[in-house]
Chain A
Amino acid sequence: MKKPDLHLLGPLVALIALVVLGALLNSAFLAPANITNVLARSAFIGIIAVGMTFVITAGGLDLSVGSMAAFLAGITIIAMNAALPEIGENWGTILIGMGVAILGGIIAGLVNGLLITQARIEPFIVTLGTMGIFRSLVTWLADGGTLSLEYGLRTLYRPVYYGGIGWITWPIIVFAIIAVLGEWTMRHSRFGRHVEAIGSNDRVARYSAIDVNRVKLLTYLLLGLLVGLATVLYVPRLGSASGSTGVLWELEAIAAVIIGGTALKGGRGRVWGTVIGVLILSLIDNILNLADLVSPYLNGAIQGVIIVLAVVLQREKRAADER
């Protein structure tokens, strides 16, 4: 019997090592408040990265998610402020905002997906284009400044980010549910198997009577929907959106997916690995802030080294397995 998935343990080992390191460096690291902070912070990128896992596994890529989140946050805030005089300061207005975010996400994902599958343009180019479009739109909507949610609505909406069951806040709960659903879909559903089949060889998948375009389109739709969901959780945190919201989220999400063991060329998806990848990325930041290990100028370098190391570890073990 071959050793079960040994190469997949790489990211998990890295995560455990980081947790031990953090605990040794600062006793505040394992305090519930800090754990809540780190997990809740990871939720936005995490939810997006789960969707990104499907897109990348099917051989695609989406660079527009960070700008899309900023744009969705912008239109959500505008919609809620506009609905305020009509509906009043109640959950009705907030539900409208949530609806705008989710629906907007689905439409944005649909646009990306249709351009890629119907117009047959490379995903890199399509989403590079929409990335610029969404980013400019939010800057334009905010008139170069910041869009802010009305104060009363903010107070009402705030518990969606800060509240929850005990110290487990809503973003953590939603992230956990999405991760479990994502893992199940990838492993056990027909859609998940089709995604992997298309990513490994889309011609064979086509000959096997898989509707390749439909499945690819669905991966972008799913990602758009999840970006919308992340926005629903993001808006109550600061109650504002601007041109600098969600900058580089796309790269963090892609990095998390790759650290987690999903192949960038497609064909092999690991949703639980993605979750670990997201946690690794947020923990590095957290530990660097908690401990004065290096000059803050070098934070980016430390992150880079750990990302590359996590992937190198996997690579070597994978090569050993294939031998």
Chain B
Amino acid sequence: MKRRSLMKATALIMSMGVASGAAFAQDDEKVVIGVSIPSATHGFMGGLNWHAQDTINRLGEQYPNIEFVLSTAGDAAKQVNDIEDMMATRNIDGLVVLPFESEPLTAPVAAVKDAGKFVTVVDRGLSQEGIEDLYVAGDNTAFGRVAGEYFRDNLEAGSKVVVLRGIPTTLDNERVEAFQAALEGSEVEILDMQHGNWNRDDAFTVMQDYLSKYPEIDAVWAADDDMAIGVLEAISAAGRDEEMWVIGGAGMKEIVQRIMDGDPQLPVNVTYPPALISSAIEMTALNFVSNAPMTGRFIIGSQLITPENAENFFYPDSPF
């Protein structure tokens, strides 16, 4: 459904481009770029989907000779089918893919590369090195480290911290290990680490149980803004708002808004921008329309959002 409406949109933009005159006479050759991403199953992916659409619409207007095919998949098997369809029926020249899982997607993406296409892999690497032309990703280690350093520098010795983890994945492990490494040697104690699965309801439940279990908690690393919302609700229901602050992650607009307003419960946030898909699509497009070299690895750092700089990270139109 999504794909069809998008094709319509691109077709419309195309016809507008044609109607607006012969300014693009040099566009004899059409380039098709396929974009394959997981569907919007939680806040972060919702934001990523929004940024992908937004970028495609913008680039479609800017470069009328580039056509985009967007598909979203709910699981790895469907994503493999999508990519095969793109190769077979749309004859793509370039592929931007955020693999649902690394293992199952490695062979199909390698096949695209072998067919001589330009391949951009986003965020989750493939299980075999050297397939992609361009790798664009967030920095999970920095995501954990930046948060850990904030805890280390802003908590007194002997402070107690609880952690909510995401869905058990290597990505989550990297973040948590970096967080623990940053706290090493400090006097800050991690009381507990349970999985909140990047889900508001699960995080709410886990936090309620933390609050029953531990009479003293000084700070919470919720590691994700969806989880932070559930955590804040549980804390406020227990009436312990004054006791602890919460650090989420990824830069959800509601949370960034509260940081801008100087909420003492949410002092800072760590970015893991869903807009990284925009960087990937844009760079792939540039590969076809410019001479700028676009191969290699592009790692987007995780930054600390503070009340002073929060404005730069606030996207009121995005759903995330």
Please report A residues at the B interface, Cβ cutoff 8 Å: 26, 28-29, 31, 33-34, 37, 41, 139, 142-146, 148, 162, 237-238, 240, 242-245, 247, 285-286, 289-290, 292, 296-297, 299
Contacts and interface: CB of A to CB of B under 8 A. Distances in A.
A292 B40 contact: no
B133 interface: no
A297 B43 contact: no
Given A41-B208, A144-B49, A145-B47, 6 more contacts: A37-B208, A144-B45, A145-B43, A146-B226, A242-B200, A247-B199
B238 A33 contact: yes
B195 A296 contact: yes
Nearest to A287: B209
B319 A146 contact: yes
A247 B47 CA distance: 20
B205 A290 contact: no
A168 to B, nearest CB: 15
A142 B319 contact: yes
Contacts of B192: 292
Interface stretch (B21-29, B123-131, B229-237, B264-272): B229-237
A285 B194 CA distance: 11
Contacts of A162: 237
Nearest to A44: B201
A26 B205 CA distance: 17
B213 interface: yes
Contact of B46 (A41, A145, A285, A296): A145
Given A31-B212, A296-B194, A144 B50 contact: yes
B319 A143 contact: yes
22 contacts: A26-B213, A33-B211, A33-B238, A37-B209, A41-B208, A143-B46, A144-B39, A144-B47, A144-B50, A145-B43, A145-B46, A145-B50, A146-B319, A237-B233, A238-B204, A238-B233, A243-B40, A247-B199, A289-B209, A290-B209, A290-B213, A296-B165
A145 B206 contact: no
B202 to A, nearest CB: 9
Contacts of B254: 148
